């Protein structure tokens, strides 16, 4: 016999239409097709689903929808799936890559490699069904050397889940 799910909500039923309408003012800047033209990553390692805010050369806000169908959840952890922290950092790095790969000095076909990360703090688990809202800000870019530095944060339901004080990237030109 299946266990019953008891609903403890004291609010009125809103339905799919009204619930969906809560995000109607959030515009997609880059959809998944645009992202795959910028980033070299592909399934199962493409970790940015869309970009909803973008300031060229400076910052971006992106979305990662967490699904139980992702391969890491078969082993991390059986019966208690949690998005690995390193994958949260990689998702932030990919969002930073979307900004960096469109900056002056990054020619088409260039790739940014992760060169370092400092000051990481995890505040809450990210689990299947969550939407990880990420923001990154490019703090410095030295086109002569191909080095970029950025910060990043990820939120679930408006609460900080991951905070990265500094990510460093190195540009590899084609």
DSSP label at residue 30 = B
Instruction: Report how far residue 89's alpha carbon sits from residue 163's, in angstroms, rounded to the nearest whole number.
Output: 9
Cβ atoms of 143 and 104 within 8 Å: the answer is yes
Instruction: Report how far residue 10's alpha carbon sits from residue 100's, in angstroms, rounded to the nearest whole number.
Output: 45
Instruction: Report how far residue 161's alpha carbon sits from residue 138's, in angstroms, rounded to the nearest whole number.
Output: 20
| Residues with catalytic roles | 76
Instruction: Report how far residue 100's alpha carbon sits from residue 111's, in angstroms, rounded to the nearest whole number.
Output: 9
H or E stretch at 62: strand 59-65
Contacts 24+ apart (CB under 8 A), 80-84: 81/127, 81/128, 82/125, 82/126, 82/127, 83/125, 83/126, 83/127, 83/130, 83/132
């Amino acid at each position: 016999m299946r266990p019953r799910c008891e609903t403890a909500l004291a609010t009125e039923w809103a339905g799919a239409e009204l619930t969906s309408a809560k995000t109607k003012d959030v515009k997609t800047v880059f959809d998944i097709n645009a992202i795959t033209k910028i980033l070299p990553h592909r399934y199962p390692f493409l970790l940015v689903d869309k970009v909803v805010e973008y300031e060229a050369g400076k910052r971006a806000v992106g979305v990662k929808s967490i699904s139980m169908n992702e391969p890491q959840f078969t082993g991390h952890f059986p019966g208690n799936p949690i998005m690995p922290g390193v994958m949260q950092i990689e998702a932030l790095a990919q969002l930073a890559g979307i900004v960096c790969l469109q900056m002056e000095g990054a020619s088409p076909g260039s790739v940014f490699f992760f060169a370092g990360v400092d000051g990481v703090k995890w505040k809450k688990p990210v689990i299947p069904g969550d939407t990880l809202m990420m923001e990154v800000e490019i703090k410095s870019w030295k086109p002569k050397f191909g080095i970029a530095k950025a910060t990043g944060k990820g939120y679930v339901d408006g609460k900080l889940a991951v905070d990265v004080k500094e990510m460093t990237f190195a540009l590899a030109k084609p």
